[in-house]
Amino acid sequence: MNRGILAAVIAAVSTILVSLIPIYCSNPGKHVEDTRRVIAGVITEDHTSKPIGQAQVIIVGRNESDISQDNGVFKVLINDDKVNTIKVIIIKEGYKPVHRSFDLPAENVEIRMIREN
């Protein structure tokens, strides 16, 4: 390979890496989630076990919340490392609200909702 081309490639790669350093340093720790303060899982229908999408996952007394994806999956990161237990309300039109408490971390939880009559 021509030394001029090799030098240009090395310079380009170096420029890209140097430009990424401020982005990484301005968000220290953002690339790694703290799994000690997370509640995550899936919301399903009680009788069919089918996933329920667009259900509201509300953390009682806090600002954190989520809306389940179409596959029922949700995840909420609690922004307080002193919180060990949370109360959750799950709401979806056509279903009875679900009230549950969880010790953190609470991963891979399944929340089953019952249809309203």
Q: Give the right CATH number for 35-113 from 3.30.360.10, 2.40.50.100, 3.40.140.10, 2.60.40.1120.
A: 2.60.40.1120
- Give residue 6's identity as a one-letter amino acid code: L
pLDDT tens, per residue, the chain with 117 residues: 577 776 666 666 566 655 655 555 555 555 455 556 899 999 999 999 999 999 999 999 999 999 999 999 999 999 888 889 999 999 999 999 999 999 999 999 999 999 998
Q: Where are the domains of the chain?
A: 1-32, 35-113
Instruction: Quote the pTM value.
Output: 0.70
C-alpha 24/C-alpha 34 separation (Å) is 17
